[in-house]
Structure 1
């Protein structure tokens, strides 16, 4: 993201937002001097502060449900569609009527309304695209776990004193890791803009986590070794580059799958919601989080290794939702090879190809690189030397041998070279068009041109 005069603009483009040049789409243009980043950290409130945080979440849940109900009633009774501005303007009417809802500041109330607006916007977007709509549902207090501040008012963070101040709750101490993250962002010129506080069940209690969004974080551009690098993503080799590097994902999730299955069978034999049942649920959640954290850590390091060597990265535009779609079919038209497809879907999800692509885009944005998303069709069976296309060129998963010119190489590296060639064509078309940057889409909810940041 990019911020000018307090307005938030989109920098990493989605498939719908990106503009096409030649055989690919521009996802990250690498022209930004500053970017938006976030710092995530856990914290431990006191008993009194935790009770106040629970009350804050209850109020946020009530506001979310009320905002959703008001929109439903307005459409059913008057065929009128309410906007977030309409509901924001109603918050002032809570004074003197529901002062408890404003005890934590006006921002958490607006944050709940914004969350409802995002759910409704996503619903209308899916309707327009012809997808399954999924109308927003009311939330129970037990499952509403997030409070959001979209402006730096009624809260502040301080890296030196390692503290987080929240209106209506007080000053909460932070661990050293949080101070390190906040300090790094502030050293690069970051300005705290948004805050999210989230809870999750941890055994018999709650674990709390805060996310501070920063804008104006300086880009850390480093000299590149090569001009363009193609990246082929797959199940066996998670990322193969045109330079010949092979990055294989350790089987973190596969290693824990058997242990998790044993724990789930043991939990199924316990009485539901008993102490033993909850303890096993906590262990299962801990194992899954550990695997997810390891996968994410691997993706960050791999993305950094790929991005720091090149100026332009060409990625496959993989349709992962379609690739992992179930083959079960329906009662009238049952699918075939359902078990095999289920196993392939599990392997694709374990490889975390989508997560790796996102991390590469984020690292590229921070380093001032460009990202192209190209169509991967025929890249795995095209010879990178003579451009001969033949399914027989791919001998097996790891071996490529051209039936026309006899060229041999690692199959994934050969595909990555072809992807790099497509990226080079994108570069040429982009330069011929005048090298226009990505169109920055202004946030529709920007309410002020300038915002005063809290003291740090």
Structure 2
């Protein structure tokens, strides 16, 4: 099993400059390669990794500064670009802006990377053209290194090692008959069908006030000035702490849920589509733009997609199955009598069925419906909510008028 190990680097001044140089070169290669691919698509042609890698070797002779970065790092950038274009389309891949993109690059050759522990709290790794770099030994490596990714977040640099642990995913969960449904919300991050409310504050009151002051200060400063850059750095420091807390919550929640349940059922939510802007165009302006903007921020703050990714990652170690079911009517359906009525949900937290009078917390009722949908199995053995619900019965002897032996002789498969 491949797993990631992330550590905080302690770079020297020269190593920090080299990392920035590598990141800028990789950003330039990405943008140039993307523009080339788009130009080919406009002409009705196609460009992939192989010819671009050959042109990169020729470009190094014309532009010597490209040789400052390791060659396999630049080739890996083109491979990442090729995969992004295949997954999202050539015109769906974003540019890497100098102001918005965090410098990062990857060393794909694990045989060129050496990792050693030099103390109780420190380790070091030998990376091509960077030499020995020290990092904080916060957890054991636990396997052979396959690749290393260096990225800057805020004022700090981090390295992520992709290691082969040698552990396989269990074929059977330790508790094979346990199922739980999860309802993701904007008031509570996750509500289980067992009635548990899983949530935590990601930003303190003081941090929220400081963030507002910094953002107002940034809006009054001149673009490109040194003071504005310092303000942006302070904003990123606060946002980085919030992001780390959100990731920590999702990881801990996923570890607990997958350890105790063989099946975890979630709603199939398209977070990117749900958080799209409602601003509209000049010809057709949007409606309730401010309310939609607040809802988008609440959805993104709770980390719905991050929790799903964390569950899938943790499920590899426990053998848990993560199931997605349609989200339609799960919050409007009564779990007791299955009656569907939007009026049954009186508020965000209260649910009272208009047919049978069943009362429950709205999120818990929705989580139970999600769990029931995940447990719905058809005659084919698949999920009834996602695939076929019914199956035509096989032809009997009375309907066909022939015995099974005669049917086999005629080449008719007998079910």
- Cα 1:399–1:141 shift into 2, 3 Å: closer
Matched, 1:349 2:307: no
1:106 corresponds in structure 2 to: 71
- Cα 1:72–1:242 shift into 2, 3 Å: closer
Q: TM-score, normalised by structure 1?
A: 0.72
2:144 corresponds in structure 1 to: 191
User: Aligned partners of 1:321, 1:421: CA distance in 2, in Å?
Assistant: 26
- Cα 1:388–1:158 shift into 2, 3 Å: same
User: Aligned partners of 1:146, 1:348: CA distance in 2, in Å?
Assistant: 27
- Cα 1:255–1:122 shift into 2, 3 Å: farther
- Cα 1:98–1:329 shift into 2, 3 Å: closer
Kindly state the Cα deviation for residue 47 of structure 1 after the two structures are TM-superposed: 2.2
Within 5 Å, give how 1:130-141 maps onto structure 2: 133-134=91-92, 137=95
Kindly state the Cα deviation for residue 175 of structure 1 after the two structures are TM-superposed: 1.5
1:291 corresponds in structure 2 to: 242
Kindly state the Cα deviation for residue 151 of structure 1 after the two structures are TM-superposed: 2.9
User: Aligned partners of 2:98, 2:349: CA distance in 1, in Å?
Assistant: 50
1:147 corresponds in structure 2 to: 105
2:161 corresponds in structure 1 to: 212
Kindly state the Cα deviation for residue 279 of structure 1 after the two structures are TM-superposed: 2.8
1:87 corresponds in structure 2 to: 52
Q: 1:174 aligns with which of 111, 127, 135?
A: 135
1:52 corresponds in structure 2 to: 18
1:12 corresponds in structure 2 to: none
User: Aligned partners of 1:330, 1:94: CA distance in 2, in Å?
Assistant: 42
**Is contact 1:56–1:104 with CA below 8 Å preserved after alignment?**
yes
**Is contact 2:335–2:368 with CA below 8 Å preserved after alignment?**
yes
The gaps in structure 2 that reach 5 residues or longer are: 385-415
Q: TM-score, normalised by structure 2?
A: 0.79
**Is contact 1:225–1:309 with CA below 8 Å preserved after alignment?**
no
CA RMSD of superposed structures (Å): 3.3
Count of aligned pairs: 379
User: Aligned partners of 2:303, 2:100: CA distance in 1, in Å?
Assistant: 30
The gaps in structure 1 that reach 5 residues or longer are: 1-34, 126-132, 434-456
Of 305-314 and 250-259, deviating more is 250-259
Structure whose CA Rg is larger: 2
